[in-house]
């Protein structure tokens, strides 16, 4: 974000970012990005166009790419815009604090997120082919059974927080099981992930502890492989080192879990607050899948993502980009670009950029979609009269520059409907059976019956104790 080189030298017009002092940069943190991100993006677009100068934390500048075609250019041109954060000028110039909240999300790691070219393709193949081994039918059935057990753990008072008691717990339960982590690790992992995704003041030590847990898991699976994603990743022909495996588990858990949590919460919010959508859904004119797509357009679970780093001085969206500048993918802003909004609406349209684009498009979108769709469908079946417990305008959002996530979603309901399906007989992370295969089965789920607020059901159990008991067959 400096003066262009001689070959690009043009006198910048008034209002160009070249004339904007660093103290006037728009912050991509704090209340504005939490309370009204769409308004923030609209103001930036009106002032600067498709690429806007921003501040990620005091004294740390970057560019936010707001335009749909510009974001496609950014993600598809590896020659000009690299994933390698070691090119970033800010830390190279000593301007990034050792305890910066940005470190967990921007530090270089030996993963598919930080590499280009052949090395990226090697590691992406390992992750994609490992995820492809999940049995989709069994994953759906097990997610539904886990959702039923979670709902059954709620008390008889007819109230619940769909973020704390559902959206934030269900994906983690499934993902920890997929990776081969003990169910008891779940609560701490939720807390650690929240710290560095929200860029809290505890993000750096939380990131270190998170990686230590996964390093222990990798060492264990090297010695004793199992039928889980960690073991399959280590056994892949790509030949990952232990360090590479740990960092890819971080990617799978953080990206997969956080995205799934937010996607679930935002979809439930849409259904509870948008009468038009709820009516068309219950009337059969739209499906839960349609709701999922609308959320990916309106409020994608990841609204901004770091990032790309310019390999040389260039121009993007009419802005001079200097070598080493950081560019943030404005996924939500690009989806709202007026140039791509269709007058027919968003139904059935999957051209959004919620998963990114180019060679680095998210490899876990299919299992994530299956988990979220199952979570929403199960909840609507079990609690058909679900309604918001507070006015919609009182809902608040987490103060994250990266995630679009509610802090809570309080609801009311009158009774439980019994579960639809029984628990699967085998694990969704086990290979598909062959005539000679033998696999351990998953214990039967806790059964439930319809309940009402005055039914005299015992008080609420700890959600984690309930789920741990369900996994262990208690």
DSSP collapsed to 3 states, 304-326: CEEEEEECCCEEECCEEECCCCE
Nearest by Cα to 288 from 409, 377, 395:
377
Instruction: Report how far residue 63's alpha carbon sits from residue 440's, in angstroms, rounded to the nearest whole number.
Output: 51
Computed over its alpha carbons, how large is the radius of gyration of the chain? 23
The beta-carbon contacts of 342-350 under 8 Å, at least 24 apart in sequence, are 346/293, 346/294, 346/297, 346/298, 347/286, 347/290, 347/293, 347/294, 348/290, 348/293, 349/293, 349/297, 350/293, 350/296
pLDDT at 411: 97
Is residue 55 a contact partner of residue 61, using CB atoms and an 8 Å limit?
A: yes
Other CB atoms within 10 Å distance of the CB of residue 200: 15
CB burial string 233-268: b at 16+ within 10 A, e below = bbebebebeeebbbbbbbbbbbbbbbbbbbbbbbbb
SS3 content of the chain, % helix, strand, coil (to 5): 50, 10, 40
- Name the packing angle between helices 365-382 and 258-273 (round to 10°): 40
* Alpha-carbon distance values, 401 to 272, 368, 458 (Å): 25, 22, 41
Nearest by Cα to 334 from 55, 71, 147:
71
- Quote the tokens at residue 81: 């815009």
Instruction: Supply φ then ψ for residue 63, to 5 degrees.
Output: -115, 140
Nearest by Cα to 174 from 301, 261, 296, 269:
261
Q: pTM, whole model, 2 decimals?
A: 0.80
Instruction: Report how far residue 271's alpha carbon sits from residue 284's, in angstroms, rounded to the nearest whole number.
Output: 14
pLDDT at 69: 96
Q: What one-character DSSP code corresponds to residue 26?
A: E
- Tens digit of each residue's pLDDT, the chain (474 residues): 654 444 433 434 444 444 444 558 999 998 888 889 999 999 999 999 999 999 999 999 999 999 999 999 999 999 999 999 999 999 999 999 998 989 988 999 899 999 999 999 999 999 999 999 998 988 998 899 889 989 999 978 899 999 999 999 898 888 888 888 877 776 777 778 777 666 667 777 888 888 888 999 999 999 999 999 999 999 999 999 999 999 999 888 877 788 999 999 999 999 999 887 777 776 667 788 888 999 999 999 999 999 899 999 999 999 999 999 999 999 999 999 998 876 655 555 778 999 999 888 888 889 999 999 999 999 999 998 999 999 999 999 998 899 999 999 999 998 778 787 544 434 333 333 333 322 222 222 322 333 333 333 333 334 334 343 433 334
pLDDT at 316: 98
Residues 117-302+354-472, CATH architecture = Orthogonal Bundle (1.10)
Is residue 114 a contact partner of residue 108, using CB atoms and an 8 Å limit?
A: yes
Q: What one-character DSSP code corresponds to residue 385?
A: T
Examine residue 252 and say whether the peptide bond preceding it is cis (omega within 30 degrees of 0): no
Domain spans in the chain, listed from the N-terminal domain onward: 117-302+354-472
* Alpha-carbon distance values, 386 to 273, 309, 382, 457 (Å): 11, 45, 9, 19
Q: What one-character DSSP code corresponds to residue 442?
A: P
**Which residue do the tokens 């490992």 mark?**
130
Other CB atoms within 10 Å distance of the CB of residue 47: 13
Is residue 329 a contact partner of residue 308, using CB atoms and an 8 Å limit?
A: yes
pLDDT at 193: 75
Instruction: Report how far residue 400's alpha carbon sits from residue 104's, in angstroms, rounded to the nearest whole number.
Output: 13
């Amino acid at each position: 974000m400096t003066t262009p080189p001689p070959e690009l030298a043009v006198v910048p017009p008034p209002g160009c970012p070249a004339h904007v002092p660093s103290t006037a940069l728009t912050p991509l943190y704090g209340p504005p990005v939490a309370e009204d991100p769409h308004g923030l993006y609209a103001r930036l677009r009106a002032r600067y166009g498709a690429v806007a100068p921003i501040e990620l934390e005091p004294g740390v500048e970057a560019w936010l790419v707001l335009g749909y075609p510009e974001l496609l250019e950014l993600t598809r041109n590896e020659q000009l815009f690299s994933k390698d954060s070691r090119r970033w000028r800010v830390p190279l110039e000593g301007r990034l604090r050792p305890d910066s909240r940005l470190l967990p999300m921007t530090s270089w790691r030996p993963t598919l997120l930080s590499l280009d070219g052949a090395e990226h393709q090697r590691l992406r193949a390992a992750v994609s082919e490992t995820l492809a081994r999940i049995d989709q039918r069994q994953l759906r059935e097990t997610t539904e059974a886990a959702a039923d057990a979670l709902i059954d753990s709620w008390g008889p008072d007819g109230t619940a927080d769909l973020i704390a008691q559902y959206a934030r717990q269900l994906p983690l339960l499934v993902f920890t099981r997929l990776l081969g982590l003990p169910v008891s690790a779940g609560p701490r992992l939720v807390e650690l992930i929240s710290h560095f995704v929200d860029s809290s003041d505890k993000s750096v030590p939380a990131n270190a502890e998170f990686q230590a847990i996964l390093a222990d898991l990798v060492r264990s699976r090297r010695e004793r492989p199992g039928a889980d994603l960690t073991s399959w990743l280590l056994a892949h022909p790509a030949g990952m080192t232990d360090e590479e495996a740990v960092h890819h588990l971080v990617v799978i858990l953080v990206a997969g879990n956080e995205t799934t949590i937010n996607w679930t919460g935002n979809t439930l919010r849409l259904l509870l607050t948008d009468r038009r959508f709820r009516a068309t859904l219950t009337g059969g004119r739209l499906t839960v899948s349609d709701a999922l797509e609308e959320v990916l357009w309106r409020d994608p679970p990841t609204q901004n993502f770091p990032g790309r780093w310019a390999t040389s001085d260039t121009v993007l969206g009419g802005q001079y980009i200097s070598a080493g500048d950081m560019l943030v993918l404005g996924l939500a802003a690009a989806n709202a670009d007026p140039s791509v909004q269709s007058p027919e609406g968003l139904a059935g349209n999957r051209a959004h950029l919620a998963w990114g684009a180019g060679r680095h498009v998210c490899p876990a979108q299919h299992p994530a979609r299956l988990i979220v769709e199952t979570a929403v469908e199960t909840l609507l079946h079990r609690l058909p009269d679900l309604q918001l417990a507070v006015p919609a305008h009182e809902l608040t959002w987490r103060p994250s520059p990266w995630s679009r996530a509610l802090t809570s979603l309080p609801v009311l309901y009158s009774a439980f409907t019994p579960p639809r399906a029984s628990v699967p007989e085998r694990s969704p992370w086990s290979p598909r059976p062959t005539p000679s295969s033998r696999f351990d089965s998953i214990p039967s789920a806790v059964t439930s019956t319809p309940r009402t607020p005055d039914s005299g059901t015992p008080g609420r159990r700890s959600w984690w104790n309930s789920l741990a008991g369900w996994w262990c067959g208690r």
